[in-house]
């Protein structure tokens, strides 16, 4: 099962974990130095919800919390 919202299509986003060493300049140090960069994933907050479609049928959908809060889904 994919990690995408069935309403808006929101899926995982990618980014970096940046590890820094040192003391910042505004605290009197010589500045921060990057010592490592690792890829990471930002996963959407998906909830499995029972939803009624337009025909009156009930089924489970994976919906992000933004769509739930906006009222784009009618809960069963």
DSSP string, 24-72: -GGGTSS--EEEEEEEEEE---EEEEEEE-TTS-EEEEEEEHHHHHHT-
| CATH number of the domain to which 20 belongs | 2.30.170
pLDDT at 1 (0 to 100) = 62
Looking at residue 17, its pLDDT comes to 97
Q: Is residue 5 part of a domain?
A: no
Q: What percent of the chain has pLDDT over 70?
A: 99
Name the pTM for this structure: 0.76
**24 inside domain:** yes
Q: How many domains does the chain have?
A: 1
- Between CA 32 and CA 38 the distance in angstroms is 17
């Amino acid at each position: 099962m994919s990690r995408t919202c069935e309403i808006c299509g929101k899926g995982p986003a990618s980014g970096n974990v940046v590890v820094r060493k040192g003391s910042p300049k505004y605290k009197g140090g010589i500045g921060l130095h990057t010592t490592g960069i690792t890829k990471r994933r930002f996963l959407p907050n998906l909830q499995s919800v029972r939803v009624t479609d337009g025909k009156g049928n009930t089924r489970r959908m994976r919906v992000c919390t933004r769509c739930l809060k906006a009222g784009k889904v009618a809960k069963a």
